[in-house]
């Protein structure tokens, strides 16, 4: 529901509810980031190999064991894809929250730049936003490589192709 309503309307409503502190900014960022992570994780959970699930059931595994041995590992690449998307959205959400509510920060800097017709400063804020987003995506990629080392080593072996050892 929150994705169908304009974020401007939600942000103003959050300001009225939570005031001008950090609460509205954090809530806007959470609303921006929740759905990409949740939808990608749900998609990853559904992509678990049904043959592996059947094998575990035939071997007498509990549903908890099936969850941790098959479903969760299958969902992790999709989860990190959602986190990567959310990393870029989080910067935009935080700057938007600052733009609406703050007295300092990059959003307020952008607002003052527009108000004083300083397009050079506005471009600087946009470049900083892009750099922050890129930095967060690189950080998420590094964390993903560390956490899912098993995933990337098996994929690397599949890329070599048959006959090349």
Residues 6+ apart with CB under 8 A from 95: 105, 106, 107, 110, 129
Q: How far apart are CA 153 and CA 165, in angstroms?
A: 14
Tokens of 84: 């990567």
Render pLDDT for 101-133 as a digit per residue (tens, 0 to 9): 666 777 778 778 878 888 888 888 888 888 989
Sequence-distant contacts of 101-109: CB under 8 A, at least 24 apart: 101/11, 101/15, 101/20, 101/24, 101/25, 102/20, 102/25
pLDDT band at 165 (very low <50, low <70, confident <90, very high): very low
pLDDT at residue 141 above 70? yes
Q: How far apart are CA 109 and CA 26, in angstroms?
A: 19
């Amino acid at each position: 529901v929150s994705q169908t309503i304009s974020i401007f309307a939600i942000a103003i409503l959050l300001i009225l509810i939570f005031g001008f502190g950090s609460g509205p900014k954090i809530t806007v960022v959470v609303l921006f980031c929740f759905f990409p992570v949740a939808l990608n994780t749900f998609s990853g959970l559904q992509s678990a190999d049904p043959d592996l699930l059947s094998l575990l059931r035939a071997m007498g595994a509990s549903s908890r064991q099936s969850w941790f041995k098959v479903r969760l590992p299958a969902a992790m690449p999709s989860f990190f894809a959602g986190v990567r998307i959310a990393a870029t959205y989080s910067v935009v959400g935080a700057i938007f929250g600052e733009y609406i509510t703050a007295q300092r920060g990059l959003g307020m800097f952008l607002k003052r730049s527009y108000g004083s017709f300083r397009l050079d400063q506005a471009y600087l804020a946009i470049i900083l936003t892009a750099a922050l987003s890129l930095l967060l995506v690189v950080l998420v990629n590094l964390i993903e490589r560390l956490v899912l080392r098993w995933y990337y080593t098996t994929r690397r072996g599949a890329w070599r192709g048959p006959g090349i050892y």
